């Protein structure tokens, strides 16, 4: 199935989506990697709010290459997904606290994230790793940037307006499905067989 | 007029980094196109289609194919009659800063305590990393190799018991690739270094990635192990982007060094599909010959 979603995405809509489905996203997407996840969660613990409301929007595991144009405005040069597994250690907490609707990354995520996606109604969409120019093409506007000085270009929060961002292959749905987990189990089983035969 | 050779090296380094970031070596491109053609499952095929379309846009628009433009290293062979020595290093560092601005490259040099340096040059003198070699002759050969963080994160080294022999080496390579799984943008290219010490095996593994795809080791014994590993690693069924369909590994290259009797070090360096490197040779008058790419 193919879905075209617009942020903010109602949880009811997310429930219709299953692993293996294809999603295109329109609306607001914010980049966040290791440092930004940590900082947002630390602020939350101190009772403060991060500068972006993540509820219902897309959270993009991405450290883009950005460039200022002649008018001094930020433009996207390249913006593919980074390896999501690094965020596994705090993604579940992030989902529980901030309620993003679609997490965009590559390489898939683990059990903790899957569980949080099921409990809080969030999906994980897989964008082709390294396809940074295809991704950049779907980003229509750089709306804002936060924490640039402190965290640097790859780690800060870039707020993008995107149009038909995708195709995103859904590998975690709201029903506990995790396509990457299935693939990993298959790899493990194949490994055992290969080691026997070497 | 005599050319300013330091300036030539700086400009060459910047251009090499641009070529590497924007244009895949021909045989890598061809291998990915072949992968797309031969992949049957729709999930895997669509991943390879996206990769190939992205590679073609990068080349047409001279933009980095991936936002992770890597941590920079240079493989340099300096001829004993080449006019510059230590200035080569200074010029390559300047070239890296220049490319960061001009390509642009993503600033990827992060100091543990001071944060991102914003110019891809480390504060403590080790990034970019240099592999220097002194050779006979008048020329200086430079190969730029930026490598992404995601695929570096799945690199592995192990000191295996020498009693396990070559079978132990093969087992470790299989284990390393199974562990990498979907994490580091497959289809992968795999470099394996065997022998030397704990540091040398990793260096050899990285150098092995520079050998063109499908060009196997000139020692037939080693070539046959490379081909065997290529075959078995694809049976892992990692697939394009780890979704189980299409090629898992495009090629495997190995380099062997002598080892200590008590040690059998094995290094595995894995490249994502974007195996990026480019080279040029500068003569003693500052003329640049770009290597076929």
Task: Flag whether B31 is in a domain.
Answer: no
The string of pLDDT tens digits covering residues A55-78 is 999 999 999 999 999 999 999 999
Cα-Cα-Cα-Cα torsion B48, B49, B55, B56, nearest 10 degrees, comes to: 150
Residues B143 and B154 in one domain: no
In this predicted structure, what is the pLDDT of residue B1? 64
Restricting to B residues 213-232, those with a Cβ less than 8 Å away from any Cβ of A are 232
Task: Flag whether B52 is in a domain.
Answer: no
Does residue B130 carry a pLDDT above 90?
A: yes
**Minimal CA–CA distance to B278: which of B134, B119, B65?**
B65
Return the CATH number at A60.
3.20.130.10
Q: How far is CA A186 from CA A151, A172, B131, B178, in A?
A: 38, 17, 39, 10
Task: Flag whether B157 is in a domain.
Answer: yes
Encoded tokens for B219: 């020692």
Distance of CA A154 to the CA centre of its chain: 14
Residues B15 and B83 in one domain: yes
Range of the domain at B109: 5-21+65-148+276-290
Residues 6+ apart with CB under 8 A from A141: A160, A161
User: For chain A, how are helix, strand and coil distributed in percent, rounded to 5?
Assistant: 35, 30, 35
Range of the domain at A118: 2-197
In this predicted structure, what is the pLDDT of residue B81? 97
Residues B154 and B257 in one domain: yes
The string of pLDDT tens digits covering residues A88-101 is 999 999 999 999 99
Residues B84 and B166 in one domain: no
The string of pLDDT tens digits covering residues B231-247 is 999 999 999 999 999 99
Interface with B, mutate which of A108, A130, A160 (most B CBs under 10 A) = A130
B118-134: average pLDDT: 96
The string of pLDDT tens digits covering residues B54-91 is 999 999 999 999 999 999 999 999 999 999 999 999 99
Nearest by CB to A130, from B51, B115, B178: name it: B51
Encoded tokens for B91: 């010029």
Does residue A35 carry a pLDDT above 70?
A: yes
In this predicted structure, what is the pLDDT of residue A53? 97
| Count of domains forming chain A | 1
B34-61: average pLDDT: 95
Task: Flag whether B154 is in a domain.
Answer: yes
**Coil, strand or helix at B9:** helix
B106-113: average pLDDT: 96
Return the CATH number at B107.
3.30.360
In this predicted structure, what is the pLDDT of residue B2? 75
Task: Work out the pLDDT band at A125, boundaries 50, 70, 90.
Answer: very high
Task: Flag whether B43 is in a domain.
Answer: no
CA B46 – CA B31 distance, rounded (Å): 16
Task: Work out the pLDDT band at B194, boundaries 50, 70, 90.
Answer: very high
Interface with A, mutate which of B99, B119, B155, B182 (most A CBs under 10 A) = B182
Residues B178 and B113 in one domain: no
Calculate the average pLDDT of chain A: 96
Question: Does this complex have an ipTM over 0.90?
Answer: yes
Nearest by CB to B67, from A78, A188, A198: name it: A78
| Count of domains forming chain B | 2
Task: Flag whether B40 is in a domain.
Answer: no
Residues B16 and B73 in one domain: yes
B178-188: average pLDDT: 97
B266-275: average pLDDT: 98
Task: Flag whether B46 is in a domain.
Answer: no
Nearest by CB to B241, from A20, A126, A150: name it: A126
Distance of CA B107 to the CA centre of its chain: 18
Task: Flag whether B285 is in a domain.
Answer: yes
Query: Mutual orientation of helices B5-22 and B86-102 as an angle, nearest 10°?
Result: 50
Residues B141 and B217 in one domain: no
B122-145: average pLDDT: 97
Residues B176 and B105 in one domain: no
**Minimal CA–CA distance to A162: which of A130, A140, A194, A195?**
A140
The string of pLDDT tens digits covering residues A15-29 is 999 999 999 999 999
């Amino acid at each position: 199935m193919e879905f075209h979603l617009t942020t903010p995405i109602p949880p009811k809509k997310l429930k219709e989506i299953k692993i293996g489905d294809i999603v295109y996203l329109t609306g607001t997407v914010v980049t966040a990697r290791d440092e930004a996840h940590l900082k947002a969660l630390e602020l939350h613990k101190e009772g403060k709010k991060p500068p972006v409301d993540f509820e219902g929007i897309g959270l993009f595991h991405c450290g883009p290459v950005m460039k200022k144009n002649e008018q001094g405005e930020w433009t996207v040069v390249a913006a593919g997904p980074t390896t999501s597994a690094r965020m596994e250690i705090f993604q579940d907490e992030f989902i529980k606290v901030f309620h993003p609707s679609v997490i965009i990354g590559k390489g898939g995520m683990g059990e903790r994230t899957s569980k949080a996606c099921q409990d809080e109604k969030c999906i994980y969409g897989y964008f082709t790793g390294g396809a940074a120019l295809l991704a950049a093409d779907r980003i229509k506007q750089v709306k804002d940037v936060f924490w640039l000085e402190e965290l640097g270009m790859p780690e800060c929060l870039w707020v993008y307006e995107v149009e038909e961002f995708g195709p995103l292959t859904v590998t975690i749905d709201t029903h506990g499905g995790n396509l990457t987990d299935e693939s990993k189990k298959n790899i493990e089983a194949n490994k055992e067989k290969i080691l026997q035969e070497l | 007029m005599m050319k300013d050779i330091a300036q030539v090296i700086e400009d060459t380094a910047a251009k090499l980094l641009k070529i590497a970031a924007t244009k895949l070596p021909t045989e890598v491109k061809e291998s990915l196109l072949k992968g797309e053609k031969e992949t049957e499952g729709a999930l895997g095929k669509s991943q390879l289609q996206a990769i190939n379309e992205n590679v073609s846009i990068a080349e047409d628009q001279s933009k980095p194919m991936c936002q992770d433009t890597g941590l920079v290293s240079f493989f340099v062979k300096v001829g004993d009659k080449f006019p510059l020595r230590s200035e080569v290093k200074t010029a390559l560092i300047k070239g890296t800063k220049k490319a960061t601005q001009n390509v642009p490259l993503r600033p990827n040099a992060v100091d543990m305590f001071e944060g991102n340096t914003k110019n891809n040059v480390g504060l403590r003198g080790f990034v970019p990393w240099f592999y220097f070699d002194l050779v006979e002759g008048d020329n200086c050969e430079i190969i730029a190799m930026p490598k992404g963080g995601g695929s570096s994160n799945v690199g592995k080294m192990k000191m295996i018991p020498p009693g396990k022999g070559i079978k132990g080496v093969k087992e470790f390579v299989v284990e390393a690739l199974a562990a990498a799984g979907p994490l580091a943008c497959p289809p992968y290219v795999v470099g394996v270094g065997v022998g030397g010490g704990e540091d040398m095996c990793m260096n050899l593994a990285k150098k092995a990635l520079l050998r063109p795809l499908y060009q196997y080791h000139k020692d037939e014994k080693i070539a046959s192990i490379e081909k065997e590993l290529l075959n078995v690693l694809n049976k892992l069924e990692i697939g394009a982007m780890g979704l189980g369909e299409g090629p898992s590994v495009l090629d495997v290259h190995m380099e062997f060094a002598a080892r200590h009797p008590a040690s059998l070090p094995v290094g595995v360096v894995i490249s994502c599909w974007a195996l990026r490197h480019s080279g040029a040779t500068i003569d003693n008058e500052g003329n640049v010959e770009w290597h076929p790419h």
